């Protein structure tokens, strides 16, 4: 049986027979067309914009972004701050998960993040790539990898998000 991409309850799935290039086995098509300018405009309203993160590419199964290691992103000892790596991972995974669902019916919220800081860097550009490990009806798992300009992996992280029913208006609690 060949690759089959299907929708169920506002979430898209790919059959296990799909290759990553075809949109699977865990990759999926975004719920609606996605524009890089719109993604970057989302950053203008939140913490991640203060870190200089810019989305640079979007594929059928991944998001890419980059930022610079500078005074905003270093810890006191001069290296890329681990919290910045985590913030980038959380932001990219949350954005990606929410792009997979019908946002008029569902929202995706982070429930767990783990990160392994593999190498240190004190200057230069950092490239981040986020892709799904699992896209399910109630839960997604997204991996984000950070690399320096020489291709050295700085961090690998995994974000688990819950898919919840959208509520009317913002919550105050």
Catalytic residue positions? 90
92 DSSP β-pair partners: none
DSSP 49: G
DSSP 87: H
Residues 6+ apart with CB under 8 A from 30: 58, 60, 99, 100
Place of tokens 């001069």: 78
């Amino acid at each position: 049986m060949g690759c089959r991409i299907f929708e169920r309850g506002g979430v898209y799935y790919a059959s296990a027979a799909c290759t990553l290039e075809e949109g699977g086995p865990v990759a999926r098509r975004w719920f609606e067309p996605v524009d890089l300018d719109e993604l970057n405009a989302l950053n203008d309203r939140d913490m991640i914009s203060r870190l200089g993160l810019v989305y640079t590419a979007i594929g059928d199964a991944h998001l890419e972004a980059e930022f610079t290691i500078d005074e905003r992103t270093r810890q006191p000892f001069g290296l890329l701050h681990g919290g910045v790596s985590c913030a980038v991972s959380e932001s990219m995974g949350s954005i990606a998960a929410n792009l997979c669902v019908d946002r008029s019916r569902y929202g995706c919220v982070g429930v767990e993040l783990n990160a392994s800081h593999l190498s240190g860097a004190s200057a230069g550009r950092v490239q981040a790539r986020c892709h799904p490990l699992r896209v399910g009806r109630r839960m997604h798992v997204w991996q984000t990898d950070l690399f320096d300009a020489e291709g050295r992996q700085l961090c690998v992280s995994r974000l688990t998000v819950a898919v919840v029913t959208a509520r009317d208006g913002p919550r105050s609690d």
